[in-house]
């Protein structure tokens, strides 16, 4: 398995996870984040899929604007007997979507390969 412009791997939930969700919301066609996969595509799993699912939903709801209700689905799954969590993100209709970071709302525009660094950053007041 390998990353593409619509599939991103995360070992665990972190700040990059939220940035990737925003990128998919702002990207035509959306995408999928698989938590519990390393950057080489190997399934390493997550310890507690239920906790990871709840945390993913909280990170998305509390750190992204405009609201994302109905634009994502978080499901537990297994790959090679390892528990993983899939976050399926649809393309948002209220683009652009922003990330809350240190009290500011920021949009990160990423290049075609989402694993690369952002190419442009703009700030917007809440």
CATH code for position 78: 3.30.950.30
Q: How far apart are CA 19 and CA 79, in angstroms?
A: 24
What's the pLDDT score for residue 89? 97
User: Each residue of 54-102: pLDDT tens digit?
Assistant: 999 999 999 999 999 999 999 999 999 999 999 999 999 999 999 987 7
Residue 2 located in a structural domain? no
Decide if 107 contacts 124 (C-beta within 8 A).
yes
Q: How far apart are CA 38 and CA 52, in angstroms?
A: 16
Quote the domain boundaries for residue 17: 7-124
User: Each residue of 8-23: pLDDT tens digit?
Assistant: 999 999 889 999 999 9
What's the pLDDT score for residue 111? 54
Give the Å distances, CA to CA, from 82 to 13, 16, 49, 78. Answer: 16, 22, 10, 5
Cβ atoms < 10 Å from Cβ of 42: 14
Residue 35 located in a structural domain? yes
Cβ atoms < 10 Å from Cβ of 54: 12
**Domain count for the chain:** 1
Residue 19 located in a structural domain? yes
What is the band of 123 on the pLDDT scale with cuts at 50, 70, 90?
A: low
Residue 118 located in a structural domain? yes
What's the pLDDT score for residue 109? 59
Q: Residue 72: phi, psi to the nearest 5?
A: -145, 155
Residue 82 located in a structural domain? yes
Q: Is 88 in a helix, a strand, or coil? A: strand
Averaged pLDDT, 43-50: 98
What's the pLDDT score for residue 101? 79
Closest residue by Cα to residue 47 from 13, 16, 7 = 13
Task: Supply 52's token pair.
Answer: 């990871």
Residue 94 located in a structural domain? yes
Residue 22 located in a structural domain? yes
Residue 1 located in a structural domain? no
């Amino acid at each position: 398995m390998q990353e593409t412009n619509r599939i991103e791997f995360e070992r665990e939930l972190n700040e990059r996870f939220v940035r990737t969700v925003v990128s998919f919301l702002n990207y035509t066609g959306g995408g999928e984040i698989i938590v519990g996969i390393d950057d080489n595509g190997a399934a390493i799993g997550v310890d507690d899929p239920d906790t990871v699912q709840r945390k993913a939903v909280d990170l998305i709801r509390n750190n992204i604007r405009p609201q994302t209700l109905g634009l994502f689905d978080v499901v537990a799954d297994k790959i090679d007997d390892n528990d993983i969590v899939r976050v399926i993100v649809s393309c948002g209709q209220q683009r652009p979507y922003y990330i809350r970071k240190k009290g500011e709302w920021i949009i990160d525009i990423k290049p075609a390969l989402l694993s690369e660094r952002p190419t442009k950053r703009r700030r917007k007041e809440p």
